[in-house]
Structure 1
């Protein structure tokens, strides 16, 4: 077998996995529109970035949660996306799903009070972030 056949097989396999993941993300976005809308998250981006930075800098939060937040911030600040934002429905959905997964991991590691303690936005914004993290909204939100 030639090297280019192996390379072609690897590239084809990666593309196939990418297409399957895109299809699954598109299906999830279509069947779960009530989870959190991308426009709600986009409105919260400045407060959400402050929250992520603040929790990542908190020494009382477990190290694995802080490392996850730093990696999430790096991903969000990258100039390119796994799924380009110009693709309808799933363009922003990949970012929302990644933020939700990391927030849920942070909440499991640090506890829901860490989100409320570091939130600097509105109570309504905290309620959206709590929904995104998969927890009940704090009693003032």
Structure 2
């Protein structure tokens, strides 16, 4: 079985990010690419991912549409080069230590917010 949709979207967004940083990329493409990469890599979505079905629909529609538009703004061989590099880089192992650090920070932030909200209303 091939890579998941989420993995393919992440790889495409990474390829866009690489292409945005390429000096050969025209300004209009850079602007579109910055939006696509920022949206794809941002933890904030139009519809949060924890909402069943709808949370993933925006990622499954908006990011591919942005990548499609971005692809039309740069030469195909240039984007193919960045897509290949992004695919190679996504094969790297996941840093579980990094994942643990991020989850710990989010957990601590949630506890602090919860504590602040509950003590504010006591």
**TM-score in terms of structure 2 length:** 0.57
Partner of 2:78: 114
CA distance in 2, matches of 1:111, 1:89: 35
Q: Flag as ranges the 4+ runs of structure 1 deviating above 4 A.
A: none
CA distance in 1, matches of 2:76, 2:4: 20
How many residues were matched structurally?
Answer: 84
Task: Confirm or deny that 1:43 pairs with 2:15.
Answer: no
CA distance in 2, matches of 1:100, 1:47: 11
Unpaired segments of 5 or more residues in structure 2? 89-122
Question: Does the 8 Å CA contact 2:14/2:37 hold for their aligned counterparts?
Answer: no
CA distance in 2, matches of 1:78, 1:50: 12
Unpaired segments of 5 or more residues in structure 1? 1-38, 123-141
The 1:49/1:108 distance shift into structure 2, 3 A limit, reads closer
CA distance in 1, matches of 2:12, 2:72: 18
The 1:88/1:75 distance shift into structure 2, 3 A limit, reads same
**1:52-77 CA-partner distances (Å, limit 9, x unpaired):** 22100112222111111112222233
The 1:46/1:77 distance shift into structure 2, 3 A limit, reads closer
Partner of 2:95: none
The 1:90/1:112 distance shift into structure 2, 3 A limit, reads farther
